[in-house]
Amino acid sequence: MSEPATGISRADVVHLAGLARIDLSDAELDHLAAELPAILEHVASVQEAAGDDVPAMSHPVPVDNVFREDVVTPSLAPEDALAAAPASDQQRFLVPKILGES
């Protein structure tokens, strides 16, 4: 993709929607193709505020090493685990066929 860093084409939006399995109408694609670059530009202006010497954060709070001990806690009963599944069989989640849809 040879677009500038903040640029995003309509084709990019189609690609992203495909990856995210979101079915978008033509009107929605047009709308997002215009809106996403604006969002990215906004984010870019935030990036300018921080110099190269400021490391990127993935967390609002600088905290490391939040661990739990390796101790078993109760699991759900299988009927509860499966209660919200659209379909189940043999105490398993039933899902549509995996291959052959592309």
Interface contacts to other proteins, rule CB under 8 A: 15, 18-19, 21, 58-59, 63-76, 78, 81-82, 84, 89-100, 102
**Tokens coding 100:** 């052959």
> In a 3-state reduction of DSSP, which class is residue 52?
coil
CB of 3 to other proteins, least distance (A): 16
Question: Quick one: 7 or 78, whose CB is closer to other proteins?
Answer: 78
Q: Shortest Cβ distance from residue 26 to other proteins (Å)? A: 20
Using alpha carbons only, give the angle 73, 75, 79 rounded to the nearest 5 degrees.
165
Indicate the DSSP class of residue 75. Answer: P
- Smallest separation (angstroms) from other proteins to the CB of 28: 20
Helix (H) / strand (E) containing 12: helix 10-19
Q: Can you give the C-alpha Rg of the chain in angstroms?
A: 22
Closer CB to other proteins, 2 or 73, in the complex: 73
Minimum CB distance to other proteins, residue 13 (Å): 14
